[in-house]
Amino acid sequence: MNMLTSTDLTAALASGKSPGELGFVMPIETAHHTACWMAWPWDGHEDNWGSGLAAAQENFVRVATAILRFEPVRVAAHPDHASIARRLLPPQADVVPLAQNDHWFRDTGPLFVNDGNGRTIGSNLIFNCWGEKFPDYELDAGIGAALVRHLKLPLFQSPLTGEGGGLHVDGRGTVITTETCFLNPNRNPGMTKADVERELFHTIGARKVIWLPGDEEEWITDGHIDGMLTFTAPGKLLFERNPDPANPRHRVCEENLKALRGQTDADGREIEIGLIDEAYMVEPETDTTALSYVNAYIANGGVVVPSFGTPTDAAAQEIFAKAFPNREILAVDMRGICHAGGGIHCMTQQQPA
């Protein structure tokens, strides 16, 4: 299998082989990237931004500009809005006309898996708009496969419904996800944990899946894992908690942390857990406001971390600096976008080298 060309891989996938069976695995986010993919925000869901669109686009540009300090940024933009994206984005950012509805590209874009020898497969989950939460998502349902075709990569279409924000990987076959997301009947009705684990092996090379309970109250994503934790290295992660017992998030965080403690990865090592407080002192602007620091983007040589104009920002940046001593920590104020339910990680998708 080590001598398979891209054409051979496409033929192998067409014959019924999966990326997992071919020895491919989704790399850890700390691995080197060819580029960061993002998707330009516009009102693709029945005026979902309204009067806040300009602020969202300005915040998007700040995130893209920060990531450009470390690696190439490529922005998929609806052809009707690509000229606006081109005008507002830095000239170093590539704008690729591809039809899409929303800018949460972690969830709508494809996943990428490789075999460690420079070969990459685009591995695509079914996107149903977080369990049919919003109308008008047909373009987002097709953007993953469209991007893989644009990149001229072999494409694997998974039968599993879900989103990239619902998965975190260590690059060695360990996957962490939540029961409230991938086992939700609004995504994969009738599927058991064993069923999902089997498909995650085929789709991204999962050898072990760690299940956390998730968050039943988080109504858009149904408790995505990328608002709870992030891997800093194989066997090591940062977990986000809420230290205020009066805050409903406190109980949710503690339940998930309890489920995580003592877990071992695919290589049999107990996972080392570092703790970080979310931006719990901020009064949420909406019931979907995302105040997560671990919802960050790990770039080549840097980490782009959310900030919210609150005292916990400095402490979070210090924790990231200790967790990533060889990377520059760059903070971006997310108050123009976070009220819509996501952060920097939600907006981005790394293409591995």
Q: What's the Cα-to-Cα distance from 316 to each of 193, 224, 243, 274, 288, rounded to whole Å?
A: 34, 20, 14, 12, 21
Is residue 338 part of the annotated active site? The answer reads no
Report the alpha-carbon distance of residue 21 to residue 7 in Å, rounded: 17
**Token reading at 286:** 């909406």
pLDDT of residue 1 exceeding 60, the answer is: no
Residue 171 pairs with which residues in a beta bridge? Answer: none
* Architecture of the domain whose range is 6-352: 5-stranded Propeller (3.75)
Interatomic CA distance for residues 127 and 101, integer angstroms: 12
Q: Could you report the per-residue pLDDT of 182-240, keeping only the tens digit for each? A: 999 999 999 999 999 999 999 999 999 999 999 999 999 999 999 999 999 999 999 99
Q: Within 10 Å of residue 88's Cβ, how many Cβ atoms?
A: 16
What is the rounded CA–CA span in Å between residue 5 and residue 335? Answer: 45
Q: Report how far Cα 66 is from the mean position of its chain's Cα atoms.
A: 17
Tell me if residue 270 falls in helix, strand or coil: strand
Residue 251 CA to chain centroid, in angstroms? 24
Statement: the pTM of the whole predicted model exceeds 0.75: yes
Of 129, 253, 338, 346, which residue is the catalytic one? Answer: 346
Q: Which candidate, 21, 23, 56, places its Cα nearest to that of 342? A: 56
**pLDDT on residue 49:** 82
Tens digits of residue pLDDT in 68-87: 999 999 999 999 999 999 99
SS3 category, 209: strand
Which residue's structure tokens are 């420079």?
118
Whether the pLDDT of residue 171 is over 90: the answer is yes
CA distance 57 to 337: 9
